[in-house]
Protein backbone atom coordinates (compact mmCIF):
# COMPACT_ATOMS: atom_id res chain seq x y z
CA UNK A 1 0.00 0.00 0.00
CA UNK A 2 1.19 3.50 -0.74
CA UNK A 3 2.64 4.70 2.61
CA UNK A 4 1.29 8.26 2.51
CA UNK A 5 -2.19 7.18 1.46
CA UNK A 6 -2.21 4.44 4.05
CA UNK A 7 -1.20 6.89 6.78
CA UNK A 8 -3.84 9.43 5.78
CA UNK A 9 -6.57 6.84 5.52
CA UNK A 10 -5.75 5.72 9.04
CA UNK A 11 -5.84 9.33 10.26
CA UNK A 12 -9.24 9.89 8.65
CA UNK A 13 -10.65 6.85 10.41
CA UNK A 14 -9.12 7.98 13.73
CA UNK A 15 -10.67 11.44 13.36
CA UNK A 16 -14.00 9.90 12.57
CA UNK A 17 -13.71 7.80 15.74
CA UNK A 18 -12.92 10.97 17.71
CA UNK A 19 -15.95 12.69 16.22
CA UNK A 20 -18.07 9.67 17.03
CA UNK A 21 -16.85 9.65 20.62
CA UNK A 22 -17.46 13.37 21.06
CA UNK A 23 -21.09 12.87 20.06
CA UNK A 24 -21.58 9.75 22.19
CA UNK A 25 -20.18 11.51 25.22
CA UNK A 26 -22.47 14.46 24.66
CA UNK A 27 -19.80 17.07 24.07
CA UNK A 28 -20.81 20.63 23.27
CA UNK A 29 -21.72 21.63 19.72
CA UNK A 30 -18.46 23.63 19.59
CA UNK A 31 -16.40 20.57 20.38
CA UNK A 32 -18.27 18.42 17.90
CA UNK A 33 -17.82 21.15 15.33
CA UNK A 34 -14.08 21.23 16.03
CA UNK A 35 -13.79 17.48 15.41
CA UNK A 36 -15.82 17.81 12.23
CA UNK A 37 -13.59 20.69 11.06
CA UNK A 38 -10.49 18.57 11.66
CA UNK A 39 -12.01 15.73 9.71
CA UNK A 40 -12.97 17.97 6.78
CA UNK A 41 -9.53 19.64 6.74
CA UNK A 42 -7.75 16.31 6.66
CA UNK A 43 -10.12 14.95 4.01
CA UNK A 44 -9.38 18.01 1.85
CA UNK A 45 -5.61 17.64 2.27
CA UNK A 46 -5.75 13.92 1.68
CA UNK A 47 -7.80 14.27 -1.50
CA UNK A 48 -5.28 16.81 -2.81
CA UNK A 49 -2.34 14.50 -2.03
CA UNK A 50 -4.08 11.53 -3.57
CA UNK A 51 -4.95 13.49 -6.70
CA UNK A 52 -1.31 14.60 -7.02
CA UNK A 53 -0.26 10.94 -6.94
CA UNK A 54 -2.89 10.10 -9.56
CA UNK A 55 -1.56 12.90 -11.77
CA UNK A 56 2.08 11.91 -11.23
CA UNK A 57 1.38 8.33 -12.29
CA UNK A 58 -1.14 9.27 -14.98
CA UNK A 59 -3.91 7.26 -13.36
CA UNK A 60 -6.49 6.28 -15.96
CA UNK A 61 -9.57 6.75 -13.76
CA UNK A 62 -8.55 10.15 -12.39
CA UNK A 63 -11.56 12.14 -13.62
CA UNK A 64 -14.19 9.98 -11.92
CA UNK A 65 -12.12 9.62 -8.78
CA UNK A 66 -11.68 13.41 -8.52
CA UNK A 67 -15.40 13.90 -9.05
CA UNK A 68 -16.11 11.57 -6.16
CA UNK A 69 -13.72 13.53 -3.91
CA UNK A 70 -15.38 16.79 -4.90
CA UNK A 71 -18.82 15.37 -4.15
CA UNK A 72 -17.73 14.06 -0.75
CA UNK A 73 -16.16 17.40 0.19
CA UNK A 74 -19.27 19.25 -0.88
CA UNK A 75 -21.41 17.03 1.34
CA UNK A 76 -19.06 17.60 4.26
CA UNK A 77 -19.12 21.38 3.76
CA UNK A 78 -22.90 21.37 3.62
CA UNK A 79 -22.95 19.50 6.93
CA UNK A 80 -20.47 21.97 8.41
CA UNK A 81 -22.61 24.93 7.50
CA UNK A 82 -25.77 23.19 8.72
CA UNK A 83 -24.07 22.46 12.02
CA UNK A 84 -22.94 26.06 12.41
CA UNK A 85 -26.57 27.11 11.98
CA UNK A 86 -27.57 24.47 14.53
CA UNK A 87 -29.54 22.55 11.93
CA UNK A 88 -27.91 19.14 11.94
CA UNK A 89 -29.39 16.50 14.16
CA UNK A 90 -25.99 15.25 15.18
CA UNK A 91 -26.37 11.67 16.15
CA UNK A 92 -25.37 8.11 15.63
CA UNK A 93 -27.02 7.91 12.19
CA UNK A 94 -25.08 10.88 11.02
CA UNK A 95 -21.73 9.35 11.97
CA UNK A 96 -22.79 6.09 10.39
CA UNK A 97 -23.44 8.02 7.20
CA UNK A 98 -19.93 9.53 7.26
CA UNK A 99 -18.45 6.15 8.03
CA UNK A 100 -20.38 4.52 5.21
CA UNK A 101 -19.16 6.92 2.59
CA UNK A 102 -15.60 6.88 3.84
CA UNK A 103 -15.50 3.10 3.86
CA UNK A 104 -17.23 2.85 0.49
CA UNK A 105 -14.71 5.24 -1.03
CA UNK A 106 -11.73 3.48 0.54
CA UNK A 107 -12.99 0.07 -0.52
CA UNK A 108 -13.91 1.00 -4.05
CA UNK A 109 -12.23 4.03 -5.65
CA UNK A 110 -9.13 4.06 -3.44
CA UNK A 111 -8.70 0.32 -3.71
CA UNK A 112 -8.69 0.56 -7.51
CA UNK A 113 -6.05 3.26 -7.28
CA UNK A 114 -3.94 1.10 -4.95
CA UNK A 115 -4.26 -1.77 -7.40
CA UNK A 116 -3.09 0.49 -10.22
CA UNK A 117 -0.13 1.81 -8.19
CA UNK A 118 0.79 -1.74 -7.32
CA UNK A 119 0.63 -2.83 -10.97
CA UNK A 120 3.02 -0.10 -12.03
CA UNK A 121 5.13 -0.63 -8.92
CA UNK A 122 4.67 2.90 -7.66
CA UNK A 123 5.85 2.90 -4.09
CA UNK A 124 3.20 0.39 -3.22
CA UNK A 125 3.54 -2.77 -1.24
CA UNK A 126 0.75 -5.28 -1.57
CA UNK A 127 2.09 -7.38 1.30
CA UNK A 128 1.12 -4.63 3.73
CA UNK A 129 -2.51 -4.54 2.68
- Point out which residues bind Fe ion (CB under 5 A): 50, 110
Whole-number minimum distance, CB 24 to Fe ion, in Å? 26
In the complex with Fe ion, the residue whose CB is nearer, 75 or 81, is 75
Least distance to Fe ion, CB of residue 103, Å:
11
- Give 24 or 55: the residue with its C-beta nearer to Fe ion: 55
- Of 35 and 110, the one with the shorter C-beta distance to Fe ion is 110
The CB-of-91 to Fe ion minimum distance in angstroms stands at: 26
Q: Which one, 50 or 98, has the nearer CB to Fe ion?
A: 50
Query: CB nearest Fe ion: which residue?
Result: 110
Other C-beta atoms lying within 10 Å of the C-beta of residue 108: 12
Amino acid sequence: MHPLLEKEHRQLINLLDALDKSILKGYSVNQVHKHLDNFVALAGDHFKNEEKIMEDYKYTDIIDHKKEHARLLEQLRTLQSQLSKGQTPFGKDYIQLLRNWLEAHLLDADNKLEEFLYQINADSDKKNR
